[in-house]
């Protein structure tokens, strides 16, 4: 069963607010945007419509979850195809949870020579943090709930929902 947590209208307003925060932070400075696939697609597309002064964007894909559980190991499945050496990088995430994947991505981008790395997440679950990381920009801070919609999934299901929902069902039935 799905229970709505954040409406489509709330998402739209918060994305607009985040873009204003990011534009103010970077001012006239250029930067590169890296989105974390797959869940970030809807959020990043909406955000990019209102961001200014970014040079280009690309994606990184990392996997550390199977169903609702993190494996603790992060595998980079897709690397960005752009040069980030000496550049400011804005990493856009759908959700920041344990911090394991975000820290692995940060380490990866540091090894590629990023000048500065900033994180923007639509949802933050600090109560689940195992590895320390704090987003520079955050849409919403939520409790330890399993959420789907607006790109977030459970085993590839529910991504296309336009709002954020709490998955309140016995997930073994999916």
Look up the CATH number of the domain holding residue 70: 3.40.50.2020
The secondary element (H helix, E strand) that includes residue 18 is helix 8-26
Distance CA 164, CA 160 (A): 10
What is the pLDDT at residue 173?
46
What is the pLDDT at residue 171?
52
Are 146 and 2 in contact, with CB atoms under 8 Å apart? no
Catalytic residues: 97
Are 92 and 79 in contact, with CB atoms under 8 Å apart? no
What is the pLDDT at residue 114?
97
What is the pLDDT at residue 88?
98
Distance CA 36, CA 49 (A): 17
What whole-number percentage of the chain has pLDDT above 70?
91
What is the pLDDT at residue 156?
86
What is the pLDDT at residue 62?
86
What is the pLDDT at residue 174?
44
What is the pLDDT at residue 70?
57
- Residue 40, class by beta-carbon neighbours within 10 Å (0-12 exposed, 13-18 middle, 19+ buried)? buried
What is the pLDDT at residue 153?
87
Q: Which residues of the chain have pLDDT under 50?
A: 172-174
Range of the domain at 166: 2-23+32-173
Q: How many domains, the chain?
A: 1
């Amino acid at each position: 069963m799905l229970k709505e947590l954040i409406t489509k209208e709330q998402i739209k307003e918060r994305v607009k607010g985040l873009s204003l925060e990011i534009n103010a932070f970077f001012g006239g400075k250029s930067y590169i945007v890296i989105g974390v696939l797959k869940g970030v697609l809807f959020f990043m597309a909406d955000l990019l419509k209102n961001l200014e002064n970014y040079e280009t964007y690309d994606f990184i894909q990392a996997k550390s979850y199977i169903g609702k559980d993190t494996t603790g190991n992060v595998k980079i499945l897709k690397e960005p195809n752009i040069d980030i050496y000496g550049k400011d990088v804005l990493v856009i995430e759908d959700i920041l949870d344990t911090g394991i994947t975000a820290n692995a991505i940060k380490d990866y981008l540091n090894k590629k020579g990023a000048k500065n790395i900033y994180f923007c997440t639509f949802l933050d679950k600090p109560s689940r943090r195992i590895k320390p990381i704090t987003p520079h920009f955050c849409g919403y801070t939520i409790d330890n709930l399993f959420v789907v919609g607006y790109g977030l999934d459970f085993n590839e299901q529910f991504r296309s929902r336009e709002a954020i929902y709490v998955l309140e069902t016995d997930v073994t039935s999916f």
